[in-house]
Structure 1
Amino acid sequence: MSGEHRAASDDDELFDQWNLADDDPLDSLRWTEDPRQRSLRKPSKPSTEATREGTREAQPLDPESSDLVQDFAVDSVRIEDASMSAGAGSAGEPAVTCVYDPDAGFQIGGRSGPDVPGRRAPLPRPGDEVGGFQLVIELGRGAFARVFLAEEVNLGRRLVALKISKAEGDEPQILARLQHAHIVPVHSVHDDSATGLRLLCMPFLGGANLAQVLEESCGYANARATGKGLVEALDQLSQRFPTRAGESLSLSRGSIGRAPSRSRLASSRGGPRCDSPVSTTAMTAATPVSERPAHHRPSRRYLPIRHLMERIAGAEAPATAVADHDELLPSRRFLRGADSIRAAVWIVARLAEGLEHAHSRGLLHRDLKPSNVLIAADGTPMLLDFNLAVAIEPGQEAAAEELDKAMLGGTLPYMAPEHLDAFDPKGRTKVQEVDERSDLYSLGLILFEMIAGEPAFDPPPSNGPTLHTLRRMVEERRRSPAPSLKARRPDVPPSIDALVAQCLDPNPDRRHASAGDLAEDLRRFLDDLPMKHCPEPSLTERAGKWARRHPMLCGSTSIVAAAMVMVVLLGLAAVQAYEGMQGLHSRLRLRVFQHDVLECRFLLNTFGRDDALIRKGIALAAATLKNAQVAETDAADFEDRVSPEQAAAPWISRLGPLERDEVQRSIVELTMQLAHARVVLSSRHGVGQQLRTALENAVARLDQVEATTSRPPSVLFRQRSRYRAALGDAEGAVRDRARADAQPPTTSHEWTMLGSFLFVSGDPTAAEQALREAVARDVTSFWAWFNLGHCHFDQGRFLEAASDFTACVVARPEFAWAHFNRGLALARAGRPREAKDAFNAAVARDGDFAEAFVNRGLVELELDQAAEAEADLRKGMDRGRRDPAVLAALGDALVRQGKTVEAERLFGEWIGQAPRDLTLRVARGITRLRTDPDSAAADFATVLAVKPRHALAHYGMACVVRVTDRARAIAHLDQAIQADPGLIDAFEARALERARDGDRGALDDVDRLIKSPTANRLYNASCALAILGEATREPRFFGRAVAILESSFKAGFPPAHAVDDADLAPLRGRADYVALLARYRGDAGR
């Protein structure tokens, strides 16, 4: 192009030459600011030198920038300011591009690569024809290209947007892959090898970029832009096109007029403007640019627009015509009716949809900003400028290498922290880590800026893009929390505030997973729906959305009707809640009732139980029946207090039919057990009249059960028959027995009840048969196995009892009593270690199980674990077990540990608190046997003086005198056994003393010990037989003695004790004895 042509053009002073690499080299290192930012800053004194146009020689870089160049020696870097506008492409003030190439070195203003000598292309001007396109006007410029409005000569001179740049890069291929309503498409591409230029033909859509629209609508300087203001600003900017372009756009949208924008009206009235236009008549081309005052310099970006507006200004249609036509254009119609927040959300939602399309095809934009967003003439937002986009196809082998070679660029104020950090050679972010979420961060910044009216972060300093500035920006963006949109604009809905905060989260993992998710959330906001991919903290906002989605339900009539319905529903809900609470209360009562019934069954097992446990069971049973509102009826008031129509407790009536039947059956059984337990206690301690009263009351209670039960069990008649027989009512007894025989048991439960009755009646053989029948009918019946175990235990069949109780443990492992009874059976069977494990299980299920602690302590004494036994015995005493056996065992445990003084002190305290308590004195006497026999004899004598038939006192006295007076010792042992036939220790001691006297009555005692085998008892039985065999000179006892001794070893008795025991001396010459010791001592050594 000739120099004369350039001198005659008004744009000569604006642009220098086509070589983009030389465009503004000195100012490229200065931070050029957005006109929107300039409108917010205080005006400073303009510098003519700073604004002088023309070709300038490149200046050396400042030291900080030199350091930056060295640090950027690996990646190609593009750094742009925020003011790069697009128009229909990347246009506006020149952006800064920093490029380093290992071969070409560091360059400013273009991509790396040497220029071809002699091929410096002249600058095309409007009016020129290039590649079949007639250039009409220049729409804009950027760091890599310029965009013209052109006519395609060979296609009916249609208007297109023509982007002219160097023939390099992949932008045409990238745009060709994208077909989306919100991405500017490409028609064709033409590369001119002669000039090295590329012509990229795109449709001409009119409108302006988002930065221009926001600036024109004064959204940044004075007030936030509304949707209507954006449309008017768009129409205002559309006037910059020549007449034919305007007609073309009018044809595409229909013939519409132009309503004056608010900014133009304000200017015509002398009001303030965001960017006051400069009159072309005041500044002519005749005046050198360098001589014009700086404050009269036209805007470099908008000077052609202002000239065109002056040249093509014409008649404007009424505002109503515009509004009527906008009804045909959905985008403009929505924007006109939207407030600033909804307009911004709508625009960014459309951009996110376009971005999702690009991401789905493996393309990252990496340069999103307002100037790269086109708002078409019909109001459609579209993405521009994919010059920095990178395309990585999934699955390609060279994907990582291509990404490393890709140009890492962008505009610093709109870049994500990880994107900025990738520029820093010392940063922690690799180029590959800059992914789709960085584009979402940029969209969040755009949305923040559109709503708040100002950028989210302060603009960088104007002294150039140095490494220090870059790192400061990274630190600022990684600071948590992200900038608050609501703090800048309080009327922002909490959901949008949360969405923007999520977009600007420094951690990419906490942002939206994709642009599609972001678009969906934005659409849901516009549709008054709850957010799906980000939190929505405000319940008030959600309620408001619901109300807007259901306007018919929010009218006054609807509200009244809804209130009435609500009152009714609340009433029904209250009734249902009350019923539900009552039902829940009933089931809680049922759980408590079932637990108490089980506890009563364990405690009211009268065989082998002491009176304290039976009394505890009676009290619990009476309380349980009272909670079920079952009246305790005595014989005197039976007729007055019992009727067949007696109502059940309210909580029982709220249960289901099956549950009510279960409760009724439990009440019947518990009443029968309670009556029997009271009879047993009266028979043990009561006189004749007291026992008779107990029997009469028992009959009355059974009569009560019969009167209130539709089908009484046959066991009831058997039990009442016994009571009536004891009362002398033979006729009633026969009648009940006949009714029992006429109603034989048919179910496992009825057979179990019969077996339990026979067992407590003292007929274990018949009880075992009935219980085996119950087990045969239901092998999982807990109570059948439980009572069968008691039958076997009573018969001395302890291993079978242990097996029965093991079945109970399998059926109901949560019941502590099953584990406890199994431990008792194993202890009696001479298996103390297994018994201790069973007691451990019982204690684990019931931490207040006193009997389990005591019996575990006794087993630990058997195992010679005195310290552990002391701890368990003390726990049992703390829980109420203070019977003689427990106190004596505790004293024994203390003495075995050498704590004789402590044992004496404890017994002194206990006796001082209860001086008449014979149990305490007997227990102290037992502990004194080894250390102070005389004091022990005094304690026993004191007790016998008060209670001559005290079994333990006689046993203790026998232990004292056995060395000096064997006959007297045997006499005391006889009295002890007469007073308490269950005192096995007395049988043990008498067996030894009788054997020394050669009394064959020792054999009976040995048999009794074998029926209650423990390791110690079996060992002493063996000793008694050895002594008896020597005393009677009958060797036949020796063989049995060796066999029983082996059983004691199997039960856990230490074989080493037998080596030097004098009682076993008669066996030492026997080969079987020697072999037995060798075998078991060898096993112990191994």
Structure 2
Amino acid sequence: MAMTSDRASPLDSTPASRSRSSGLLLEPRDGRFGAAAFQTNGSSTLTIGPTSRAYLEALADLTERWERGETPGAELYLDGLSDWTASQAVELIYREFRLAEVAGRRPSPDAFLARFPEHREALETLLRLDGACSDSLLRRLSKPRDDDALLPRVGDEIGPYILKRELGRGGFARVFLAEQADLEYRLVVVKISTRPTREPWLLARARHANIVEIVSHAEVDDGALQMICMPFRGGATLSAILGRRRERPTLKNSDRRLLDDLDAVAAPEYPATQPARPARELLRTMTDVRAFASIVARLAEALDHAYSQGVAHGDVKPSNILLTADGVPMLLDFNLAQDWSFHDPESPVEDPGGTLAYMAPERLRALAATSLKRRRREPIDSQGPTPPDATAAGPHRADVYSLGMVLLEAVAGWSPTDDDADGREPGPAGRWAFGEAAERYAAIRERGAAEVVRRAEQSGGATVPPALRSILTHCLEADPSARYGRALELAEDLDRWRADRPLAFAPEPSRRRAIGRWTRRNRRGVAIAAFAVTLSTLTAAVFIVQGSRAMAVALEHHAVDHLALSWDDVASPAFHYQRPGFPSPRGRDSVEETGSALRALKDYKILESGDWREQDNYRFLPAADRDDLELWLVEQTFRACRALANRPDSPDDWLRARTLIDRVCGAAAPRVLAALRNRLDGQLATVGVATATRPDSVPASPCVEEYLQGVAAELDDGAAAGRGDGKPGMKLLDPKADPWADVRQVENPDAGLTTALEHYRRLLSMRPDSFWGHYRSATIAFRLRRWAEAAAGIETCLRGRPNNPILHGFLATCLFNLDRSHAALAASNRALDAAPDHAEFVQTRAFIRAGLPESGGLEADIRRYEMLKSLIPESFFRSPPIMDLANPIAASVPASRRGMPLARPRKSRPAAGESSQDSEEIDPGELTARAVLAAKIRQGGKIAIAAGEIDKILAIDPLYIVARIDHMCLAIETRRFNDARDDLDLILDDPRLIEYVVSSVHRAEALFDASRCLAVEGEVGDALRLAKKTLKLILAAGKSSGRAYYTVAAVESLAARTEPNWIPSAADHLRLAIAANRDYEQWFLQDEAFTPVRIPIRAILNSKKGR
């Protein structure tokens, strides 16, 4: 199975594209996939960029629509997409041609050439070669597909995954429990399907705590199969749990056996849930009916989140719901999900199908109508069946209906398939039976929600509580507009019912009259019951208190777990990871900063109505965590509102920011936010927008004041210094800038950091255990290069959050800068244990190992980092190991590949006659970090490995001057003077050489040392060229020139050993060096470069002194 870069499409099907595929072959155990192409796109391998993603989605959508009988043209996808390459456009056109052939339309090549004249030459060649490619992916579409034969079996190996056990299967897919061989044989879930879909991208977009996470995805066997890898969380599907419960029926709503049923059918490979997780403990405190309500509420939140991301699930049912061994419900299988994030809200949404028993009536009716038209051979609308509510909100309301059916099945002990006369779903061969079944289901569902609930209770033999029945009735209304408008409303009502609070959206059941009648008929019994209740009140109170305490503990665990997901995930935007090779923490641009802040506020429901401090995930946190969370959320408010305020001519954004400040702080706004609010009032007044009258100001918490003042000072914000206009300076670090290219002269650049550090220290004097006070102080200490102080601060943070991988990685960098290599290695290993696929942690460990005497693991870390980041050309994964130490650079890359295309090409100006290419820029900071790593490896004496690293950098960017100079120095060291001369010519002609020279003293010294080495080896001409060019640049930049003059004098003295004419010039340059710094006179007396000519040079110096 071949791994290819993102420059080749995973659905390559043309003759031209097939010739590009190459790579490593991995043989599975039974050989059935021996020639398959394994093209990975996950976080742990080569990635696919946005253009390739759009291209794959277009191919999949075009194929699906032709298979449904529609006839869309390639123009539908090509119009308005200027960032597609010509080859991708041609492959999409060719896909339409082949699909038309499969459909029996006999497309005319001439007609296609006439439709696309701009691609005529390539398309004509491709159509002419069409008959010679009998093994292409599209030609398989013309033959009957045996999906079962294509799918793998237990024991097969696909890439690093060894299939151990089949977990489930469908018509076109199999799900396996697998071992990942390249990561300690950890257990993962692998889904293999014969039909490529958009499921991987939709899962990545709809990421949520209650939606299964995608680890990676790949195209297998030349695109015949699609593979999705997901984490293994144990547990079982809800359908398995409900099946066990139907075997052991009960009539009690007070049963508490859900966790027992889960453990009985759970996957045995998952380790025992000890210690118990908060979600399990929360379920253990509830009756089964309330537990199912809680599970469905969390799933409703997940559906609503997916809806906000433009995704509708389309097939919600118990077999697509996982209850993990830890008690967390998760949505599975987005195979039929719809993506309408860019859909026109006025146009209909096509129905992809699904499971009839759980489908909403409007979808059932539309599918039945379409089936009937096909049976009568009547024309079908090209958009497919369109339910009455076929706008963008329609699929979401249908998902809400399906989720209601799942809840009804769980609490009533009944199966929706009981409504079908045959008691089963139609098979794939029964097209007409499918339509008839959809008609039967629709007829039953359209009788009304109350009838559906009544039939379920009667069939299952259970009674649904009245308020829950009201929720289910509202959820299962036949009219979509009468249901819950959003799944979040369903979650709200379910949580209210569990807490015995009034419902917010469904009507309250009225039992007042029934209770009055029952009381009048049983007055004596009521009196006796009242007396009994009085006697039992004290006893009941004891149990209530105990239950309340258990609930409080469970809610606290849940809140702490939620905070850990927000802060301790390796992808958390709360922290800026710092690794070796970067002198200061990397920043984010304003768009990313704003989006990150708003997501954090949304996660804690600050953007919603009500007091956010009353939310369970905030209120039930321990006091210290709650205080830290408040600081962080107020900071995110400041960042978001400041960014919104800076948007020009955006009154709506200004009003959003103004409202957000009032929601978060009210009258107790810190001075920084109060100044920003005043500024927003002024901006809104200029456009005639009146703001609400503010209440009297209340002093904010001193801790919040100091912290926010420190954040503002870090960002060089004028509000922190009390500037009259209150406008922020917007000094953000550029995430794409070379962090070492600090050539600008800034007056007192550390003033803002020092001011911020004073605020954080005052915060710590009031609250010594403040996590964010210690963390932000540590980041400032790092930027000021106070490594020990930074390490101490991060170690304090780790005592509060020991499972945070970013903090462990940050600590590793601090210890590395303190030359505590073994402690740094241990910290980086802890970071990688928590996040093994995080490339930056791998590179940090490579930096540390580069400084150790032994080289064990260094090359493995370098290769893994390159694989995870996809930063170098594909050939480096296949190049032989470096063995020729006499010529280490030439051994790392074949000469024929030095000008090869790059995995991520840099943006460059097109040559004459070439078209402009808008490709992604290479991060220069990334290249600089690799250059610093190569220098560290070279200092450790590992010359061959360092040479290979430098050569890789030049393969990525041949014009990168730092690596080019290192390449020259290595060539001089290995006496390859022709190669060194070639490098020197490029270096001296590079206009960026002046930036290199003046950016760092160490960089200028590298050029001085290279000049001396060339002179010592007899290459005097090249040595003088380099030394004098460096001197010229230093003088032009106004930098200290003493070392430059001294180097030129030393080189000329070495030349004077054979050419005495150089002696006067050497004496003049030495005199200028001594004039700049008297220490150079002592250097002159001890430097061996002057030994043969020291006496005449000294005589010239003395004679000029006498004058």
- TM-score after normalising by structure 1: 0.32
- TM-score after normalising by structure 2: 0.31
Larger Rg: 1
